[in-house]
Amino acid sequence: MTVLAASLLPWVGGALASAAHVVHPVPEDGSVFDPDIVYVGRWDTTTSPTAYTPYWAGAYFRVGFTGRTVGLKQRGTVNLWASIDGGSAKLYKNVSGVVNLTPVPLSPGRHTLQVNYQAIAGYYHGDAVFQGLVLGRGETTFTPPARTRLIEFVGDSITVGLTTSQQARTAYGWLIGERLGADHTQIAQGGACLVATADGCVGLQRQFTRLGPLLSSPAWDFSRYQADAVVINLGTNDVGHGVHTPTFQAAYISLLHEVRAAYPHAWIFALRTFRGRYAAQTQAAVSAVVSAGDSRVSFVNTAGWLSPADFTDGVHPTDQGHRIIAGRLAPIIAARIGAA
């Protein structure tokens, strides 16, 4: 019997015990509400006391743990990525129940874990419902090294990382966050517009304040975390849904106001879309809010950043294209909010 298998016996036995006897877990036991688990991004932590669900593409969690083994409790089948001790992330496909992340036990001591669920165009591939960690017998969690900055990236399928090798993980937002040693979120959805349209385009001007991309999604509690920077990359899809330029500019101003209300101290970066759509209106929206007194907003001119070879289909950047974007944008962000 492996170390992890032995460690699962108490949990499995408890699951089969009488439901009338409820044992409340203690801190540092790997339960979903263990304070040592750092949830980054928009997670639903209120619908169920024993199962947490991420929304948008770039959510993940970080945690430290002692011992040689660790596993996840997953409600249903899902694809996920896991990285231990900062190493290369491993893709676990179509896993469910207890997922053993250490078939070969680790060296004794303290370790760190980062987990995110695979998303395709912003929707999670499977049942991304986390039900806690499985630790070795007698082992505990600990708070992972702190990250003092958080950057939020707002956009469409480009920000999601569609057509890249690892989706959200190989998109420029994830790359920038990791490069700067900051936590990061991708509030993005494939096909999203800035403006919600009658033909069904998800409008981030409306959904930015929500837990998820669906109209029925509840309001997000912005007291859960505060972003130090917000990067907006929207407008690529609005043209195809007939959004007129004055409407776009007014909606962009509205979104900038919403972001400022949510994050009073964040620096806001409005990107020229990589295809140049609504570039003038984006820049004009930034000028309008700056003129109105908000000095912590910048227009980022991305013209010339990418060549035709840096796209997979003329719209979505390749892995290399996202690396180029990260290389150009990371110093701009760092200059405003500082390095880790």
Residue 13 has a pLDDT of: 37
Provide the CA 53 distance to its chain's centre, in angstroms.
12
Q: Is the pLDDT of residue 38 over 50?
A: yes
Residue 339 has a pLDDT of: 62
The end-to-end CA distance of the chain, in Å, is 43
CB distance 289 to 256 below 8 Å: yes
Mean pLDDT to the nearest integer, 147-163: 97
Mean pLDDT to the nearest integer, 101-109: 97
Distance (Å, whole) CA 191 – CA 120: 12
Q: Tokens at residue 133, please?
A: 């960690």
Residue 124 has a pLDDT of: 85
Query: Using 50, 70 and 90 to split pLDDT, how confident is the model at 6?
Result: very low
List domains and CATH numbers for the chain. 3-17+27-142 (2.60.120.260), 150-337 (3.40.50.1110)
Distance (Å, whole) CA 321 – CA 158: 11
Choose from 16-25, 26-35, 329-338 the range with maximum mean pLDDT: 329-338
CB distance 247 to 194 below 8 Å: no
Distance (Å, whole) CA 134 – CA 157: 34
Q: What is the pLDDT of residues 234-252, one digit of tens each?
A: 999 999 999 999 999 999 9
Query: Using 50, 70 and 90 to split pLDDT, how confident is the model at 123?
Result: confident
CA distances from 329 to 244, 269, 294, 339 (A): 28, 10, 21, 13
Q: Is the pLDDT of residue 74 over 90?
A: yes
Q: Mark 254-280 as b/e (b = at least 16 C-beta within 10 Å).
A: bbbeebbebbeebbbbbbbbbbebbbe
Query: Using 50, 70 and 90 to split pLDDT, how confident is the model at 129?
Result: very high
Mean pLDDT to the nearest integer, 204-230: 96
Query: Using 50, 70 and 90 to split pLDDT, how confident is the model at 340?
Result: low
